[in-house]
Amino acid sequence: MRGIVFTVLGLLPLVCGHPYYRDYIPNGYAVFNPCGASYWQAVGHYDPNHHTVMKNPFGVALSNNNHIWNEALCRADSDGDGKTNGEELGDPNCVFTLGSSPSQASSGHPGICEPIGSGPCANVAFRCGCHGNACTG
């Protein structure tokens, strides 16, 4: 029994995600939700409330950048909607540092192409209301 408890506790970090990564990006706890009125909690994932295995384009870019917000990640357009990650997260001048306050509120989501289903996002398979791997077609 004790072995089972240790195994479960050992696997827990793998399935719970890393919500503290939100500390590393501007407005990490107040990221615009293009699918509803609340904030997008799992910023690097397709499901707004749950940390899934599959990451959205911003989650992939943040991971590939060693979870560091810098000018390169800020000026990139991870989701391909024509707005930089910095513009969407309220850091258009790319000056945010860990522990500082961004200059603006978030106005978009850096990993979800928006407006969903139209304009540059018409060919993106993401849809609102999905869960887990069902989010991308």
pLDDT tens for 96-105 read 999 899 999 9
| Closest to 69 measured CA to CA, from 23, 19, 17 | 23
- Assign 53 a pLDDT band (cuts: 50, 70, 90): confident
Residue identified by tokens 């540059």 is: 120
Q: Two tokens at 37?
A: 């009125």
Residue 84 predicted with pLDDT over 80? yes
- Assign 78 a pLDDT band (cuts: 50, 70, 90): very high
pLDDT digits (tens, 9 = 90+) for 1-50: 555 544 434 433 333 456 678 999 999 999 999 998 789 999 999 988 87
Q: Two tokens at 55?
A: 């990451």
In the chain, the percentage of residues whose pLDDT exceeds 90 is 63
Facing residues of 45 across strands? 55
**CA-to-CA dists, residue 18 to 75, 77, 128, 137, angstroms:** 24, 23, 22, 25
pTM of the model: 0.84
User: Residue type at 57?
Assistant: P
Please give the Cα distance from 15 to 29 (Å, whole number).
20
- Structure confidence at residue 1 (pLDDT): 58
